[in-house]
Amino acid sequence: MGRPATCRISIFICLLLALPTLATANEPNHPTIPSLATLLADLDSGARSLDDLRALGLSVFATPFNVADGMGDGPYDPAEADRLAFGHRPTLQGNGLSLRVNGLDAQSCNECHTIVSNNSRLPTLGIGGVGGVVQNAIIVSSLIDVGDSSDDRVQFRGGHEPELPLVEDGVADFNGRYANPPFLFGGGGVELLAKEMTADLQYFLKEARNAPVGTEIHLDTHGVSFGSLTSLGQGKVDLTKVEGIGPIDRASVPAEEVLVVRPFGRKGENFSMRDFDRGAMQFHFGIQPDEVVGEEQDEDGDGLAGEVTVAEMSMLHIFDVTNPKPRIQALGDDGRKGKAVFREIGCNSCHRSVLKTRGKRVPLAFPEVAEDPWANVYLEIDLRKAGFRPTNQGGLRVPLFSDLKRHKMGPRLAETFERAEIPNDEFITARLWGIADTAPYLHDGRATTLFDAIELHGGEAQAARDAFLALPENERQYLLTFLGKLRTPRNPNQELVELVR
């Protein structure tokens, strides 16, 4: 990580030149690792185990980066058209390194993904967990009206776009996104499901492109319906009946891009964990992955190139997808009754208890192609390794309690974000596995109890929410008892800790 310009004279002279400053120079916290090809060859030959590679990934995830690792954007650039974009973001008092609002908010990934259980008076901390509200990300925010002013927009200058009406009403008007960190547990199963679903949707698209005008093709995959496509003839398709995926403006991108299942992020924006990680590196740390800016490129002008290499991002991806699966405790009588209530009142229509994969191995690719998950695969990992149980049909059971679709959740949950590419009232169905341990709830952590999380459901979930509130007290309790059995994994990733040290 973070290579300054190479010293081309002899190593000896270099050392001599460096000696007087060595004691005080900034050193990267992160060690340099071999290339992806070398690491994969080591895995093949047995010189390194999969756990060794996972440990390298954990080290990327947990190392507190510093300036010598590439932490921070480059110098503020007044010519930058979009002041909120990565690379030259304004910083507090021009410190060049941190802001907290709109990223530049932490030194390591694990700083935010730390809580393994909030289900006891002493929370359990660990690797890859959720975050509390203090770890929320404040995303692309151009306005936070902390003082609830009535109309002081004159104070906001060019670069801001606060078109929100400012009214004195106890609401701190906000133009941006506020998101609470989910955990990484079971992420491999989610990624494999999404990739298989995407492959199916792309197949349906090809069919629709070749079908006679007016043919309707249903987008059913893995037991989930993503609506339908209608053929318009001559290779064209009508996307208006596609459900739960794609940007607001479907006409703005090719149909292939719309028909990609993106399970990661609260809004369902990222097709793989690596896809998420690329943005996370830039957003949180101002660290620029080679695979985004190009090898040896110092795009943000902070004096460092190679801030995070393809090999490092690949190891991080291996760590991501091998995070252990959440567990379900024995339900007991009340829990079983609760599971039945959960089904009866329609929670299960979105929070699908189990989805099954066709295969067992999640493909990891570089470079990744969203629409073609099996292109450029460098490694496939059998997810029984992460605790997933096989089906009789050669796949895996993923007990995620989600359909991996977005749904309209009503005005009470809607965000106020003018640059939204996904409607402000839509969120991906939260996966409920592990839910007993992961308070606070909902996309921004606004609910501190499961009851409140359910009560805040609206929109497409209004009927299920109303049915929940109308339940007799004991049945409501059964349902909460059932949710209380959905636990995070025990001691996640602890087996890697010794390998990192």
Which spans of this chain sit near ligand HEC (rule: CB under 6 A)?
Answer: 61, 105-106, 109, 111-113, 131, 135-137, 179-182, 184, 264-267, 273, 276-277, 280-281, 284, 316, 320, 345-347, 349-351, 407, 409, 413, 427, 429-430, 432, 435, 438, 441-443, 450, 453-454, 457, 460-461, 464-465, 468
Minimum separation from the CB atom of position 482 to ligand HEC (A): 9
Select 224 or 255, whichever has its Cβ closest to ligand HEC. Answer: 224
- Taking the chain, what is the end-to-end CA distance rounded to the nearest angstrom? 18
What distance in Å separates the CA atoms of residue 499 and residue 119, rounded to the nearest whole number? 29
Q: How far apart are CA 345 and CA 329, in angstroms?
A: 22
Please classify residue 16 by burial: count the beta carbons closer than 10 Å to its beta carbon, then call 0-12 exposed, 13-18 middle and 19+ buried: exposed
Residue among 210 and 462 whose Cβ is closer to ligand HEC? 462
Checking phi first, is residue 283 left (phi over 0); if not, alpha (psi -120 to 50) or beta? alpha
Tell me the closest approach of the beta carbon of residue 179 to ligand HEC, in angstroms.
4
Residue 349 tokens, joined: 């229509």
Name the residue nearer to ligand HEC (CB basis): 162 or 182.
Answer: 182
- State the minimum distance, in angstroms, from the CB of residue 141 to ligand HEC: 13
- Taking the least distance from each CB to ligand HEC, the nearer of 217 and 430 is 430
- What is the Cα–Cα distance from 192 to 197, expressed in whole angstroms? 9
Nearest approach in angstroms of CB 335 to ligand HEC is: 14
Least separation in angstroms between CB 262 and ligand HEC: 10
Please, what's the largest Cα pairwise distance for the chain? 81
Q: How far is the CB of 382 from ligand HEC (least distance, A)?
A: 20
* Residue 236 backbone phi and psi in degrees, to 5: -95, 150
**Rounded to the nearest 5°, which phi and psi values hold at 427?**
-140, 155
Smaller CB separation from ligand HEC, 106 or 208? 106
Q: How far is the CB of 219 from ligand HEC (least distance, A)?
A: 17
Residues contacting 350, CB < 8 A, separation 6+ = 402, 403, 405, 407, 429, 460, 461, 464
Smallest separation, CB 380 to ligand HEC (Å): 19
Kindly list the distances between the CA atom of residue 473 and the CA atoms of 2, 397, 470, 483, in Å, as whole numbers in the listed order. Answer: 58, 33, 9, 16
- What single string gives the DSSP state of each residue in 16-33? HHHHHHHTTS---SSPP-
CA–centroid distance for 394 within its chain: 28
Judged by beta carbon, residue 216 or residue 466, the one nearer ligand HEC is 466
CB of 311 or CB of 453, closer to ligand HEC: 453
Tokens 């060049």 belong to which residue? 96
Task: Mention every residue, 6+ apart, whose C-beta is less than 8 A from residue 147.
Answer: none
Q: In whole angstroms, how close is the CB of 13 to ligand HEC at the nearest point?
A: 37
**Single-letter amino acid code for the residue at 233:** G
Helix H or strand E encompassing 469: helix 462-470
Asked if residues 19 and 11 have their Cβ atoms less than 8 Å apart, the reply is no
User: Which secondary structure element, helix H or strand E, spans residue 379, and what is its range?
Assistant: strand 377-382
Beta carbons within 8 Å of 218's beta carbon, 6+ residues apart: 204, 225, 227, 228
Q: Which residue has the tokens 């991108």?
A: 253
User: Smallest distance from the beta carbon of 93 to ligand HEC, in angstroms?
Assistant: 20
CB of 112 or CB of 398, closer to ligand HEC:
112
Closest distance between ligand HEC and the C-beta of residue 88, in Å? 20
Tell me which residue has tokens 């040896």: 296
In contact, 431 and 402? CB cutoff 8 Å: yes
Cβ closest to ligand HEC, residue 39 vs residue 400 = 400
Name the token pair of 194: 């999404």
Nearer to ligand HEC, 53 or 255 (CB): 53
Q: Would you say 243 and 197 are in contact if contact means Cβ atoms under 8 Å apart?
A: no
What is the Cα–Cα distance from 327 to 320, expressed in whole angstroms?
17
**In terms of CB distance, is 355 or 454 closer to ligand HEC?**
454
Q: How far is the CB of 283 from ligand HEC (least distance, A)?
A: 8
CB of 354 to ligand HEC, least distance (A): 16
**Nearer to ligand HEC among residue 265 and residue 492 (C-beta):** 265
Please, where are the H alpha helices in 287-439? 290-293, 310-321, 332-344
Of 31 and 212, the one with the shorter C-beta distance to ligand HEC is 31
